[in-house]
Structures are given as structure tokens and as C-alpha cells.
Structure 1
Amino acid sequence: MNKRKVAVFVEGQAEYVFVRDFLCRWYDYDSTLLGIECFSLRSDLYNSEPYLFGDRKSVNYYQIVNVGNDRSVLSKMLKEAPRLQNAGFHQIIGLSDMYSDLYHVQTKERCIDVAVNQKLIDECQNSLNASSQRDLLSYHFAIMEVEAWILGMYQFLQQIDSSLTPQFIMSRLQIDITADPEISFYHPAKVLDEIYRLAGRQYGKHLNEIASITSQFSKDDYARLLASGHCKSFNEFIKDLVAE
């Protein structure tokens, strides 16, 4: 019997894997507490992804939908909302990166602009408020990308290569990896790639790359980020996602 039945619409592979693996860690891989089904949504057709955990009768059932386009998350979740409400879903959540072509147009100088952040957040909220399913709907931006949340747990880098200490990264790239990545890095995925290259590797948002990272995170890692005061957008999303 479901206590919570939640649909999560995400923009791409990085967000899909991050949410999927976070939920598994958070609920300690307990299939009585957690059920997950994953889909890709293309041309309004749901395609099952090769990942299934628990079942639809788990206490907390999540349907994660990768729409494959940052500009489509809002429209897809709004379109699907009536059907999902009729199917008994208690909550419908959207997640996309703030970093986008639209953001570049708004800022010109390629820098984090709090006013632009709020403008885009308000525009999304206005769209949600106009929906008859508005009580079920919420939308979150990872600021500036979900990779900022990953960099907020930077300790994992030394599991990739022991040389990737904050001191070494600072000396080579002049990047303070201990700072709040949400307010420090305009393009977090690029920062992560630059750090990877110090160890002779690359990061390009590919499924295997993001899965390799998230497989190293523990529930304690996520809890530390939540308690750190960094990545406010992560805190807000997780509170909505797990209702704690």
C-alpha cells in the first residue's frame, strides 16, 4: 500500500541517475519502503528504462521520467498531470538545470545572476499555479547544474584519484572545491571535467560517468550535504522528494 506515489520529471541522464541512486541510498535499498520505475519520454511515448527496484506496492513508489530536453520538463509534466492525478499520484515534481541556452541569453556575461534565477523560478511557478493540478505540482532547478550537487560532495574525488585533494585542485586550477558550488560555478559540469582531466579522465554527462560517481555516494554523504549549508537548491528538492 502506497503512502506516497510520486512522479519525477527530469531533463536528462545526469538528473535521472542522480535521483534514482539518491532514492536507493536514502531508503537503504529496502524494497518494502521503495519502489522505482524509470522511463524515457520521447514524442509523448513512454519507454521503459532497464532499471526497476521494488514494485508499485512499496510504501514509497517513484516514477522517474527522463524527457531528454531541459525546455520540455515543465510542459511534459503539465501535460501528464491530469493522467497522473487520475492514476492516484500524490505528487508531481520537475527537475532541470538552471544552466541552459535560455540562461545564457538572459545573462550575456555567463555568470550566476540571482535575479535571473528568481525570474525563471517565478515563471515556472506561475505556470504551475495556472494548472488545475497545482496542489500536486512542484518544480525545482539545480543551480546551476546537478553537477553542483555532486561537487558539494567533493570528497568522492579522492576515491577516483588520491591526488585530487582540495589543495591540489586549487594549486592546479585555482578552484576552491570546498566553496558552495551553487554560488561559485557557472558551469559545474565543466568544472568537474577540468578536475577529472587532472587525473587523466573526462566527464561529459554520460550515463556511465554519472552512474560511476553516484555509486560511490552513501546516505551519510547526502546527509552531510544537506547539513552543510551549501547547495540550497539541493536541500529544497530533497525535502520535496522525500517529504522530510
Structure 2
Amino acid sequence: MKKLAVFVEGQTEQLFVCKLLEEIAGKNNITIEKKKWRINKKGIRVFTTVDVLSSNKKTSYNILIYDCGSDSKVKSDISENYDNLVKNNYDKIIGLRDVYPNKYQEIGKIEKYLHYGIKTKPISVSIVLAVMEIEAWFLAEASHFTKIHKKLTIDRIVKHLNFDITKEDIELRNHPAQDLNNIYGLESFAYNKRRKNCERTIKALDFNLIYLDLVNRIKYLSKFIYEINSFLT
């Protein structure tokens, strides 16, 4: 059995990565354990298991997905858990965090910082950015809008919000989560970080489109899926 640990900045990323892995590897071929940070009685920051998704069969892949609770914690949580993952024979570690609220021009500096001082042997570590937020990937999967509401067509979005999701470089959008909220708001829906709202959006996404099409158009999505594929193959 191959083992992967993924450290993400929050609940939205954890939900998305879980669904993405299920779609790519197949639900019957993968066991996913979700972990979330908390402060224990001694005041120490620890991770506890909040959910386990398994087919109850012998699976080929065992995945841990850590919700670090903040973009600033992804790197440090990888460092603090690295030796334990080595002891438990993990094969690969991936980190995922947003660029926002930092600026696009700071991406190079952020990437340099994220990889500075990180152990990479015996387990390889890759920390990937979602530019500017993971919601950029949701925005780019434009077919999902009419699943939220049938009237949320591309033409209507262009008319009222003056940008065409299908033509723009989605990684240049400064605050994609706000863009999603503005689009949903055309039909009095909201997008925010509440679990119910995140799950509604992720459920509406076409993961085949993300994996087979958007991966060729979105640089950092491509980087993330490359890391997933390098583990699965």
C-alpha cells in the first residue's frame, strides 16, 4: 500500500482534495483519513481524526489530509509531522495553500520561502500554491454555475459582472472567492467558507473537466495534479 500525506490550509481545500483523489484513484481503491488541528488540555496544537472514508476493502492507497487551519501553518505543520510520517512509512508529502491575501507579484518569494529548510529525504515534499485562491479552480469550471442555478449562464455573468470566465486567465483574478460570491449572488445565493456552501459548490464541479481540460489551462492546478499523479503511478 502506498501512503500520501496532504497538508492544506483549510476546510475548503480538504473537501476539494478529498473529492479529487476519490475521482482520480477511484473510491474503492483508496482510504482517506481527514485530520483537523485542535489545542489539547496541555495547550499543545495537535491533529485529531475527524473522518475516515474507506470502501472496507483492501485498498491500494492510504491518504491523510490535514486541515492546518491557516495558510501560514502548512509549512510548519509539514515540518513538525515529517519525522512521524517517516516512521509510518509514508511515500510522499504534498502541501497546498492559497496566495491570497498576498499579492500575485509575491508568488516567487512565497514559493522560495515554502521550500526553504524543508526536509525532502527520505520523503519527498512538494508545496503547491493555489493562485490566487483554490476558488479560482472552481471559477474556471464554468459548467457548474447552471447546477447552482439554471439562470447562472456565462452570458448573464458577462453582462452583469463584466468578465468572461471562459476567456480570462483565472489565476490573475485577485479574489476568486469573492468572484464566486458575486456570481452566485445574481440568484441570491452566497459563497463563503461555511461547510454547507463549500460542499454545495464542490458537489456541482465536473471533476473530469478539471482533470482532463482545466489542468491544461491553469498552471498551478497542473502542478498540483502532477504531484497527485506522481504518487498514484
TM-score higher than 0.5 here?
A: yes
Please give the root-mean-square deviation of Cα atoms over the aligned residues, in Å: 1.9
AA aligned opposite 1:15? E
AA aligned opposite 1:230? R
Which of 175, 178, 182 is the matching residue for 2:171? 182
Which structure 1 residue ranges, 5 or more long, are not aligned?
A: none
AA aligned opposite 1:233? Y
Aligned-partner Cα distance in 1 for 2:181–2:120: 42
Aligned-partner Cα distance in 1 for 2:123–2:48: 27
Deviations 1:85-131 (CA, angstroms, capped at 9, x unpaired):
1100001111111113xx1xxx5xxxx32xx1111111112232xx2
Question: Which residue of structure 2 lines up, in the alignment, with residue 208 of structure 1?
Answer: 196
The answer to whether the Cα contact below 8 Å between 1:94 and 1:139 also exists between their aligned partners in 2 is: yes
Q: What does 1:21-40 align with in structure 2 at a 5 Å threshold? A: 21-29=19-27, 31=28, 33-40=29-36
The answer to whether the Cα contact below 8 Å between 2:148 and 2:204 also exists between their aligned partners in 1 is: no
Aligned-partner Cα distance in 1 for 2:12–2:58: 27
Which of 11, 14, 23 is the matching residue for 1:13? 11
AA aligned opposite 1:174? N
AA aligned opposite 2:149? D
Deviations 1:49-71 (CA, angstroms, capped at 9, x unpaired):
23422469521111001011111
Q: What does 1:149-188 align with in structure 2 at a 5 Å threshold? A: 149-178=137-166, 179-183=168-172, 185-188=173-176
AA aligned opposite 2:33? E
The answer to whether the Cα contact below 8 Å between 2:86 and 2:122 also exists between their aligned partners in 1 is: no
AA aligned opposite 2:71? D
The answer to whether the Cα contact below 8 Å between 1:169 and 1:175 also exists between their aligned partners in 2 is: yes
AA aligned opposite 1:182? E
Aligned-partner Cα distance in 1 for 2:120–2:136: 33
Aligned residues: 225
The answer to whether the Cα contact below 8 Å between 2:144 and 2:206 also exists between their aligned partners in 1 is: no
Aligned-partner Cα distance in 1 for 2:225–2:50: 23
The answer to whether the Cα contact below 8 Å between 1:55 and 1:61 also exists between their aligned partners in 2 is: no
The answer to whether the Cα contact below 8 Å between 1:96 and 1:141 also exists between their aligned partners in 2 is: yes
Question: Which residue of structure 2 lines up, in the alignment, with residue 125 of structure 1?
Answer: 115
AA aligned opposite 1:180? D
TM-score by length of 2: 0.89
State percent identity of aligned pairs: 27
Deviations 1:30-84 (CA, angstroms, capped at 9, x unpaired):
x2x2111101022332222234224695211110010111111100111100110
Change (3 A) 1:132 1:202: closer
Which structure 2 residue ranges, 5 or more long, are not aligned?
A: 40-44
SS at match of 2:117: helix
Which of 211, 217, 220 is the matching residue for 2:208? 220
Change (3 A) 1:162 1:133: same
Structure 1 position 132, deviation (Å): 5.9
Structure 1 position 223, deviation (Å): 2.5
Task: Give runs of ≥4 in structure 1 deviating > 3 Å.
Answer: 54-57, 132-135, 224-227
SS at match of 2:71: coil
Which of 211, 219, 222 is the matching residue for 1:232? 219
Question: Which residue of structure 2 lines up, in the alignment, with residue 53 of structure 1?
Answer: 54
Which of 177, 188, 198 is the matching residue for 2:186? 198
Deviations 1:156-176 (CA, angstroms, capped at 9, x unpaired):
001111221111101101121
Structure 1 position 28, deviation (Å): 3.1
Question: Which residue of structure 2 lines up, in the alignment, with residue 95 of structure 1?
Answer: 96
Aligned-partner Cα distance in 2 for 1:161–1:21: 22
AA aligned opposite 1:136? S
